[in-house]
């Protein structure tokens, strides 16, 4: 068995599994919702070209020109001598055509950040809320969820109609809100929320094992007991090929490795994705469990580190993702993205067929009857985490085998950590409940629960909510804005 074979698979398996179709190993159909993606689709094309699978990939996007560009790239890659898989790509702007009879559905969509993310970052900052990413929680993350949830309800309804047995993999943030919305709309859906933060954490643990224990290891040698919600996952076990890493982690957390301080100037030239783990080490010292998501995400859930603005955040080695970065990253010519399909197709940039760092193809192989595989996934809680609300989407390890993804029981949490998590679960569930009929006032209740928002008086929070709603109104047309007492009161304030 792959990956966490040493420890996590000893844990009892939860009573319910996500069971869908067993994929055929020779050929199946993939529907990609968000097929104009500038990064995820080119990466998938390369992974599929290097796989032993074959079949059809339908790239759906309202921006059909972007999907056509990616389809041309996919078919161009298939002509290479080093392409092993046998795939055919086509673009469409008709969702029903893309989904009809699909075996696998991939979801990866995003609005133009110059019209959305920049407001998610800049408007809360004007109220003193200095979010690091503003993509999955906090005022910006909640508004991203409010923009996205209604769209994904429609996707879930379309999947129910056109391919109800398909395996559905959601890569869209906020993963916990979005995956929860899919199940809320279509409870029988076979949907899995995907995130690579834990994978990167396992890479880091392998590096530490090599550096301090002289163990030649990579991600596949690392076993961890993952539990939490997306971007706020924790571990209470870590092994490297059977060697218990916890004594090493404890030593590092209390030594020089875990007690570094940074000045703002130290991060001037750093990427926002830089991760020093100083927040994670501090939370380990306080609570005895180690977060296993990037610090830039963790600080938005454990919000002490956001207090005091840029200098205080930088002290922990975290660099804020600014609105200028979000806007620039949207334009490939101005960003540092490694994917540039037009440049590859034109010959302006050399192309090397390279596998991504994602695990989707390993999962598909296991679902098709290959070697069983253990990895972190986001699924509704059916007992895999014993003391978080049933039905809410949680992140744990899961065993993937022929036609089945079965979450593994991860246990519970010490009371203080459970309290941190439960607050965010209540925010997520309140917004999901509000989305069923577009109840803006109910959504505002969830907004008020957020620890970042709690730094404000309720009247200020209402003004912030109303300002974000006004800036992003055209993306919120599924919400009953005109009926919202919260917005009317804010106008009068």
Give the whole-angstrom CA distance, residue 307 versus residue 336: 30
**Both structure tokens of 400:** 């993937």
Burial of 422 (0-12, 13-18, 19+ CB in 10 A): middle
Catalytic residue check, 297: no
My answer on whether omega of the bond before 174 falls inside 30° of 0, hence cis, is yes
Is residue 339 helix, strand or coil?
coil
Is residue 15 helix, strand or coil?
coil
Give the whole-angstrom CA distance, residue 233 versus residue 229: 6
Give the whole-angstrom CA distance, residue 209 versus residue 179: 34
Question: Strand 232-240 vs strand 104-107: parallel, antiparallel, or unpaired?
Answer: unpaired
Question: Strand 167-170 vs strand 190-193: parallel, antiparallel, or unpaired?
Answer: parallel
How far, rounded to the nearest angstrom, does the alpha carbon of residue 444 sit from its chain's CA centroid? 23
Give, in degrees to the nearest 5, the angle at Cα 43 between 148 and 55: 95
Q: Which of 119, 162, 176, 196 is catalytic?
A: 196
- Residue 17: how many CB atoms within 10 A of its CB? 17
Residue 481 CB-half CA count within 13 A: 17
Tokens 């999955």: give the residue: 136
Q: Which residue from 209, 219, 159, 208 is spatially nearest to 183, judged by alpha carbons?
A: 159
Helices (H) and strands (E) in the chain, counts: 18, 14
Burial 384-404 (b: 16+ CB within 10 A, else e): bbeebeeebbbbbbbbbbebb
Give the whole-angstrom CA distance, residue 119 versus residue 110: 15
| CB of 304 closer than 8 Å to CB of 130 | no
Q: Which residue from 409, 337, 318 is spatially nearest to 132, judged by alpha carbons?
A: 318
Residue 56 CB-half CA count within 13 A: 14
Q: Which residue from 150, 117, 154, 152 is spatially nearest to 136, judged by alpha carbons?
A: 117
Q: What is the DSSP string of 118-131?
A: HHHHHHHHTTT---
**Both structure tokens of 423:** 């607050």
Q: What is the CA radius of gyration of the chain?
A: 22
* Element containing residue 310 per DSSP (H, E): helix 309-315
The residues carrying an active-site annotation are 196
């Amino acid at each position: 068995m792959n990956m966490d074979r040493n420890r996590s698979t000893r844990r009892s398996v939860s009573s319910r599994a996500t069971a869908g179709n067993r994929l055929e190993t020779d050929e199946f159909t993939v529907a990609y919702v968000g097929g104009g993606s500038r990064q995820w689709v080119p990466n998938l094309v390369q992974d599929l070209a290097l796989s032993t699978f074959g079949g059809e990939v339908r790239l759906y996007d309202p921006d059909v020109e972007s999907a056509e560009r990616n389809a041309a790239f996919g078919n161009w890659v298939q002509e290479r001598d080093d392409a092993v898989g046998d795939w055919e790509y086509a673009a469409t702007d008709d969702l029903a055509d893309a989904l009809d009879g699909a075996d696998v559905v991939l979801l990866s969509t995003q609005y133009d950040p110059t019209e959305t993310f920049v407001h998610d970052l800049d408007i809360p900052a004007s109220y003193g809320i200095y979010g690091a990413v503003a993509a999955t929680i906090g005022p910006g993350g909640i508004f991203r969820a409010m923009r996205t949830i209604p769209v994904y309800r429609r996707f879930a309804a379309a999947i129910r109609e056109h391919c109800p047995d398909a395996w559905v993999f959601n890569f869209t943030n906020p993963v916990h809100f979005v995956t929860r919305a899919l199940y809320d709309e279509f409870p029988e859906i076979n949907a899995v929320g995907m995130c690579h933060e834990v994978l990167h954490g396992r890479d880091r643990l392998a590096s530490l094992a090599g550096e301090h224990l002289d163990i030649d290891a990579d991600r596949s040698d690392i076993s961890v007991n993952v539990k939490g919600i997306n971007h706020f996952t924790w571990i209470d076990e870590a092994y490297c090929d059977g060697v218990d890493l916890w004594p090493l982690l404890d030593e590092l957390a209390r030594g020089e490795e875990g007690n570094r301080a940074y000045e703002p100037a130290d991060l001037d030239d750093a990427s926002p994705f830089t991760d020093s783990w100083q927040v994670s080490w501090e939370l380990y010292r306080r609570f005895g469990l180690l977060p296993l998501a990037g610090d830039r995400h963790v600080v938005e859930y454990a919000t002490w580190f956001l207090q005091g603005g840029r200098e205080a955040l930088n002290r922990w080695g975290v660099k804020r993702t600014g609105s200028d970065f979000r806007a620039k990253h949207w334009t490939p010519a101005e960003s540092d993205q490694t994917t540039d399909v037009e440049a590859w197709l034109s010959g302006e940039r050399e192309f090397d067929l390279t596998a991504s760092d994602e695990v989707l193809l390993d999962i598909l192989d296991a679902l098709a009857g290959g070697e069983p595989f253990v990895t972190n996934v986001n699924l509704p809680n059916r007992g895999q985490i014993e003391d978080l609300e049933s039905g809410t989407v949680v992140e744990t390890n899961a065993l993937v085998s022929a036609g089945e993804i079965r979450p593994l029981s991860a246990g519970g949490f010490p009371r203080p950590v459970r309290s941190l998590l439960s607050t965010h679960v209540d925010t997520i569930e309140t917004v999901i409940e509000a989305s069923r009929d577009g109840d803006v006032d109910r959504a505002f209740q969830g907004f008020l629960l957020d620890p970042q928002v709690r730094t404000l008086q309720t009247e200020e929070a209402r003004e912030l909510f109303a300002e974000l709603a006004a800036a992003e109104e055209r993306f919120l047309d599924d919400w009953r804005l005109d009926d919202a007492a919260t917005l009317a009161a804010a106008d009068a304030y």
